[in-house]
Structure formats: C-alpha cells, structure tokens
Structure 1
Amino acid sequence: MTKQILLVEDNSSNRELFVEIIRLNKKYEVHVADSGLKALEMLETFHPDLILMDIHMPEMDGLAVTRTIKSTPELSSIPVVALSALAMKSDIESAIEAGCSGYITKPVRIKSFMDELEMYTK
C-alpha cells in the first residue's frame, strides 16, 4: 500500500531534492506544501501517513505548524519529523517539545534518510 508523505519546505531547491529522493521508493507518494500555512490548509482535507516539516519558514515556522497539528485531534496522531540544517541539541529539543517525532538534519544522506522514512511509515 502506498504511504502518503506531506513535505513542507519553503526552499524550492530543497523541495525538488527531497521529492526526487522520496520518489526513489515507489511505496511513497509525496505531496508538497511550500509554506506552513499551505500545509495547514492541505491538512483540512488530507491526512498523510507522515509529515516532513522544515523548521525555518517565513510567516509561520515549522514548530508553530507542528504545535497546531498536534493540538488538532484529527491530526495529532500523524507523525511529524523536523527537517533542519541546525543540529544543536537545543534545536532538536525544541522540535521534540513542539511535538515532532524525530529530527533529520540537512543535508541528508540518501540511505539514512530513506531508512528513517521507512521507520516512520511502518
């Protein structure tokens, strides 16, 4: 069965790269939101198996979007995994406190990224 992934990423180069990587495995179907607000709009009618959330975005950052998702009963069970170039312990802790199930640092290594997708979509 195909697993639905929502990628929330404001940087077009990063979006293209992540989409290409995710599509390497045919069991994933990727949907894209270019902002946190667009992601919340999409989630009104779409409930993916996993959300990959960029942390640093204009208007509404990924942590605020994650908090909104986790406070919405019909969305709260969807795992959200943070994507960020920041890898300080405090950054990771902030993401976990906001409700993220995991944290992936950019740039990603394709093999370990795909292994993490597998782990979060079981």
Structure 2
Amino acid sequence: MVEDNQVNVRLLLALLKGKGITEIEIAEDANQAFTALQTGAFDLIFMDIQLPWTDGLQLTKAIRDHPLVRKSRIIAVTAFSTPEDRRKAATAGCDAFVPKPVRREELYRVIDEQLAEAGN
C-alpha cells in the first residue's frame, strides 16, 4: 500500500484484514515504495495518486518498468475520480480504480477481480 495519510492507512488496513489479506507493507512515499519493491513481487499494490514529492501516477509508471513487480496488479485509490482521472490512471498503468471514500463492497469486488485476472 502506498498511502501518506494515516487515517486512510488505518481504514485500508482494517478493510484488507477484513478481506483476509494480512501480509501488507506500507509506504508513505515513492522512496519507501521503491525500498519495499526491492524485496520481491507483490500481488496487489494499492496506490494513492496524490503523494509527496512524486505522484502516484509517476510511481505507477516506474513500477511498470521494474522487473520484480511489473506484473503486480496496481489499484489506484484516490479522491480524484473524474473520468479524466480514471483515464490518466489507466494510461499510467493502473489496472483498477477505487474512489475515496473507500466503500468496502467496491474495494472487495475490485480485489476479487484483480486477483482473478492475475490468476491468484
């Protein structure tokens, strides 16, 4: 999970654990995310779009070039949810989009879809 807002981190953690996802790494910015990515592949990456220093779209593009995680499913989780925002996220390499405030049912549906598409 790449998210700099601690309230959103706590909310997503609770929702993910409620879904049975317990192996979760948290990065607050692009530097922390790249450090975590050096450890190996991730099935899902939850990406906030508005991050300090480097936005989530730039980070998504960089992840798509990274050999260990380029096939990870990236889910944009953001308050920016216009059709244009969704298009930008998809163009950057996001596989799915969940608007904030996050609704449990929608998040779980997207997780199920992305894991199925990834073959997990």
When normalised by structure 1's length, the TM-score is 0.89
Deviations 1:29-59 (A, max 9, x none): 2221111221111001131100000000111
- Compare the two structures and name the one with the higher helix fraction: 2
* Structure 2 counterpart SS, 1:69: helix
Letter in 2 for 1:63: L
- Tell me the number of residue pairs that the alignment of Structure 1 and Structure 2 aligns: 116
Work out the percentage of aligned pairs sharing the same amino acid: 30
Q: Give the 5 Å matches for 1:1-122.
A: 7-122=1-116
- Compare the two structures and name the one with the higher strand fraction: 1
Name the counterpart of 1:3: none
In structure 2, runs of 5+ residues without a counterpart are: none
- Dislocated runs of 4+, deviation >3 Å: none
In 2, the alpha carbon distance for the partners of 1:33 and 1:79 equals 16
Letter in 2 for 1:70: R
When normalised by structure 2's length, the TM-score is 0.90
* Structure 1 counterpart SS, 2:66: coil
